[in-house]
Structure 1
Amino acid sequence: MPKGETKRRPRTRAALLQATLETFAESGFHAATIEQICERAGYTRGAFYSNFSSKEELFLALFDAHSERIVQRMTALVDSIASEDLTLRALVDVLCEVEPAEREWYLVTTEFTLRAIRDPQAAWVLAQHDARLRAQLARALTEHLARAGRTLTVEADELARLLIAIREGGLAQSYVEPDELPPGRLEQRFLEPLLTALTADSRTA
């Protein structure tokens, strides 16, 4: 592969992924076409197919990138808190943050999840990516809770499942009734007592 093409490839992929996110959020996964994505990104179909084979592969690449960004952002925010100030309340404040752009991603991932519920093959593939996200989240939670002086009394993977369910369920209600339930409000109210119940104080053990 020519050197110029090697250097351009990450930029091409990044542009295609951003165009995909915008197109999926605007038109929906099923209605969006590869032509629309290429036009928005400013690339040809040839450039598309040299990086991705299908819309499903695009979504999964978006899923992995979003998962990694969320976990990295959470870790950076927690790491910025001094150890003596890292309490469950401080950790909950980090977990409750919802960026405005999250609504766009929620529209995209919800439609693909519905597709996976109907299609066993899509469900199997999505489950593999879900599992990787949970593993990242479980490791991060275990480390952050340890810094806060807490030890999990349940499986970290199960807690990750629960926190994802709470976040996705809360966002669904928030996006339908944004004035009644701002994003993150449920987590702000209930995550601290939940984490208290599911952890033990390791500093007094």
Structure 2
Amino acid sequence: MSRVRTRPTRDDTREKLFEAAARVCEEQGIGGASIEDIAAAAGFTRGAFYSNFKSKDELVIAMMEEHVEQSIRRMHELLAEHKTLPDFINALRNMDRSKQDPLGRSPLLHMEMILFVARAEKRRPELAKRLRARRKLIADIVETTAKNSGKNGILNPAWVGAVVLALEDGFRLHRLIDPETPADSFLRAIADLQRAIGIPSS
């Protein structure tokens, strides 16, 4: 008779460490969070941490990589179902945020990680790589939805992608500073841009 597996898999362990790191880093800041605190919050020993990551830096980079990969996958799935820009924006507005990864759920943690990576020159290429991936994702969405809306060729998708990404991060920061900033500010701004370039809202 075969034994039932009771030990967590490597993926399970990494996911628990990501969730624990998100909680600890949000409370203490990435600089103040220790490996011991993160491991304890996940219910693991320090040794379990080091069996998955060589350092806190490696954990942070892995969390960012997971966030970007999940975002790309989720947005492409959404785009496959909602092919025009108005439909896509409405789908984004109604998306279940509780299913997002820790970075997607927490604007504070997102900004904390950007600052943590940007402060050290050796980490910046990793951050830049993820930034370019996010920018390309948005450019692909702009290009596809514009084409499906009959507006192909009127936009520079790469530039619009950069503008949209800057808007997203900007409104995320504004909402952290001023809670009265409307939660849907980013999507409202995108809808305004949509109208400005002549794409109908329905």
Name the TM-score, length of structure 2 as normaliser: 0.77
Q: Give, in angstroms, the shift of residue 35 of structure 1.
A: 0.5
Corresponding position of 1:37: 38
Corresponding position of 1:181: 181
Classify 1:109/1:186 alpha carbon distance in 2 versus 1 (closer, same or farther; 3 Å).
closer
Corresponding position of 2:87: 90
After the TM superposition, which segments of 4 or more aligned residues of structure 1 sit over 4 Å from their partners? 4-7, 95-98, 100-104, 196-201
Q: Give, in angstroms, the shift of residue 157 of structure 1.
A: 2.8
Classify 1:34/1:78 alpha carbon distance in 2 versus 1 (closer, same or farther; 3 Å).
same
1:96–1:185 contact (8 Å) kept in structure 2: no
Letter in structure 2 aligned against 1:181: T
Q: Quick check: 155-164 or 12-21, which moved more?
A: 155-164
Corresponding position of 1:192: 191
Letter in structure 1 aligned against 2:159: E
CA RMSD after TM alignment: 3.1
Unaligned 5+ runs, structure 1: none
Corresponding position of 2:115: 114
1:152–1:199 contact (8 Å) kept in structure 2: no
Corresponding position of 2:18: 17
Q: Distance in 1 between matches of 2:104 and 2:140?
A: 26
Name the TM-score, length of structure 1 as normaliser: 0.76
Tell me the SS of whatever aligns to 2:169.
helix
| Count of residues in Structure 1 that have an aligned counterpart in Structure 2 | 192
Q: Distance in 1 between matches of 2:7 and 2:157?
A: 39
Q: Give, in angstroms, the shift of residue 186 of structure 1.
A: 4.4
Tell me the SS of whatever aligns to 1:31.
coil
Q: Distance in 1 between matches of 2:36 and 2:8?
A: 24
1:23–1:36 contact (8 Å) kept in structure 2: yes
1:138–1:157 contact (8 Å) kept in structure 2: yes
Q: Quick check: 92-101 or 118-127, which moved more?
A: 92-101
Q: Give, in angstroms, the shift of residue 126 of structure 1.
A: 1.1
